[in-house]
Homo-oligomer: A and B are copies of this chain.
Amino acid sequence: MTHPLLEKHRTVLEGALNAIATRGYWSAYPEMPSPKIYGETALEDGKRAFEAHLGKQFELGQPGLTGWHGGETSPYGVAFDVRYPVCEPDALIQAGLVAMKGWQALGAAGRTGVCLEILDRLNKQSFEIAHAVMMTTGQGWMMAFQAGAPHAQDRALESVAYAWREQSFIPAEAHWEKPQGKNPALVMKKRYQIVGRGVGLVIGCGTFPTWNTYPGLFAALATGNAVIIKPHSNAILPAAITVRIIRSVLAENGLSPDLVTLCVADKRSTTQALATHPAVKSVDFTGGNTFGQWLVDNCKQAQVYAELAGVNNIVIDSTNAYKAMLGNLAFTLSLYSGQMCTTSQAIFVPAGGIDTDEGYKSYDEVCADLSKAIERFLSKPEVAHAVLGAIQSADTAERTDIANSGALGKVVLASTKLENPAFPKALVRTPVLLTCDAADEKAYMEERFGPISFIVKVADTAAGIALSERIVAQHGALTVGVYSTRQEVIDAMTEASWNAKVALSINLTSGVYVNQSAAFSDYHGTGGNPAANASYTDSAFVANRFRVVQRRYHV
């Protein structure tokens, strides 16, 4: 059971299979945008390729074309005016179902090989995709490159590896011979066909249009399904480039490109009709709770994999590296202006203060010192712009203004507007840091997406841990953290993380941050609390996307 493209990329596949089994550090796609790796002209070529899309119609050759639609607004103020094909959703579904026949017939090895070839091609166009990600999301360049291209490709490969592992367990055929005592044995031949469940719909978000789209896309694709990508209305280009590359590779390999299509919809009702279509059997969604819950409640014909809002949090009990802790937190809260689904929103500090290697620090001192650490970290404009990027949506800017006004808690560090000389129209905001009491649940106990965090005063460490557990269980979280020099505190927080089912980072003080999740090693989301009902990536993320249909006959 193999295929030329699987053989071509076997080293990568085997690396990925080993990585998901050991979950140590591994990456297939280099994260440094280095000319030595990607080619001397890669940066300029990618920029030009991105710019070549601007002001044009983005041709995809999809069926059911009814018009063109665009309207992306760049957080960096770059004029887009790219128009994408608007296609009849039913035409995309029907074409996808037809394309699935050949995709099924190719078998798991062939599908895996084609997916690996697609990833290789996506990697080669990393700079073009990174520019598209940067300019649609407002991420800083380095983050847009890493998270938007190689890290997203790694996450995709992780899905492909899990999908391959599960599918490779299904034998193509079996010889079944049941002894009958003195009589001749009963003998049957059985054959097992892996069949995709139907069309997979992948609904992207505005902040991570590839990183959060690729896992579901490749999980559904590799397991035999057609996929329709419905990108966020403000981050279409990264998805469109991705779809074009996929369609090229499919066509080159004699497969129908309509297996993967882009659905640009200017009305929510279009997406709703698509998500509830009887032929759509899986929906991957990253976004807000309102639409996410609507999908869960209404898409009864499909399995919904949803990443929703949460209230990520950190308990600070004590530390033997106060400065490094503050530096680590300052980076976390600043990165992409807190517009990550993994950014900490609530930091629980005991009312009685904490013990540190620099002596006792009162609650107020911790608040002041964290504020200073953020200010210091962002004091150099070039660092600030590289880290903060730009604010992706007007809603996030408005939430930041509200927090800045003091309406949600006492402002200990105000958000300021920065001018980015490279992008004069960019909307750049530094983090706002608020303080409040644990009792002010209305303030900090709902997701306030963006550069808004609360240092919440809790009675003591135990109260902080209990609060963390309750928040995660009730409101969800993708990440929690703890700082403590005491093993019993770490143990208690570990227990809380098991109860509420959330990934825990302990005493992060160097170059790893609570909001970072590394493919092949860190499970992104556990699937066990309200922030996400699935994880990137585990077996559960792939195993239910295909079915096995058997036939048997006497030999």
Contact = CB atoms under 8 A, between A and B. Distances in A.
A10 interface: no
Contact of A195 (B174, B190, B498, B539): B498
8 contacts: A23-B176, A186-B512, A508-B553, A508-B554, A522-B550, A526-B547, A543-B543, A543-B544
Interface of A: 20-25, 104, 166, 169, 171, 174-178, 180, 186, 188, 190, 192-193, 195, 197, 296-297, 300, 494, 497-498, 501-512, 518, 521-523, 526-528, 535, 538-540, 543-544, 547-554
Given A197-B528, A297-B300, A535 B547 contact: yes
A503 B174 CA distance: 15
Contacts of A522: 190, 550, 552
A553 B509 CA distance: 9
Contacts of A523: 192, 548, 550
Given A23-B176, A540-B543, 17 more contacts: A21-B169, A21-B171, A22-B171, A23-B192, A24-B174, A176-B518, A186-B511, A497-B551, A505-B551, A512-B552, A523-B550, A526-B547, A535-B547, A538-B548, A540-B540, A540-B544, A544-B544
A192 B521 CA distance: 10
Contacts of A502: 549
Contact of A494 (B174, B535, B551): B551
Residue with the greatest number of chain B CB neighbours at <10 A, chosen from A175, A180, A548: A548
Contacts of A548: 523, 526, 535, 538
Residue with the greatest number of chain B CB neighbours at <10 A, chosen from A104, A188, A522, A523: A188
A518 B552 CA distance: 12
Oligomer: number of copies: 2
Contacts of A497: 549, 551
A114 to B, nearest CB: 20
A418 to B, nearest CB: 29
A534 to B, nearest CB: 9
A514 B102 CA distance: 29
A512 B166 contact: no
A31 to B, nearest CB: 10
Contact of A554 (B512, B518, B538): B512
B540 A180 contact: no
A178 B509 CA distance: 16
Contacts of A547: 501, 526-528, 535
A23 B171 contact: yes
Contacts of A506: 551-553
Nearest to A507: B553
A23 B177 CA distance: 11
Given A539-B539, A543-B538, A554-B510, A549 B23 contact: no
Contacts of A177: 24-25
A551 B504 contact: yes
B552 A505 contact: yes
A506 B498 CA distance: 49
B551 A503 contact: yes
A178 B151 CA distance: 14
A494 B512 CA distance: 53
Given A506-B553, A507-B554, A190 B543 contact: no
Nearest to A104: B498
A518 B544 CA distance: 22
Nearest to A545: B540
Contacts of A551: 494, 497, 503-506
A511 B184 CA distance: 11
Given A178-B25, A190-B23, A554-B509, A549 B528 contact: yes
The 10 closest A-B pairs by CB, nearest first: A528-B547, A506-B553, A539-B543, A540-B544, A540-B543, A504-B551, A23-B174, A543-B543, A25-B178, A526-B547
A178 B25 CA distance: 6
Contacts of A297: 300
Contacts of A174: 22-24, 521
A224 to B, nearest CB: 10
A527 B193 CA distance: 14
Nearest to A497: B549
Contacts of A296: 300
Contacts of A300: 296-297
Nearest to A194: B498
Contacts of A552: 503-506, 512, 522
Contacts of A508: 553-554
A208 B245 CA distance: 52
Nearest to A514: B552
Contacts of A193: 498
A510 B21 contact: no
A381 to B, nearest CB: 25
A508 B188 CA distance: 10
Contact of A550 (B25, B186, B503, B527): B503
Contacts of A178: 25, 518
Contacts of A521: 174, 176, 190
A528 B195 contact: yes
Contact of A553 (B22, B190, B505): B505
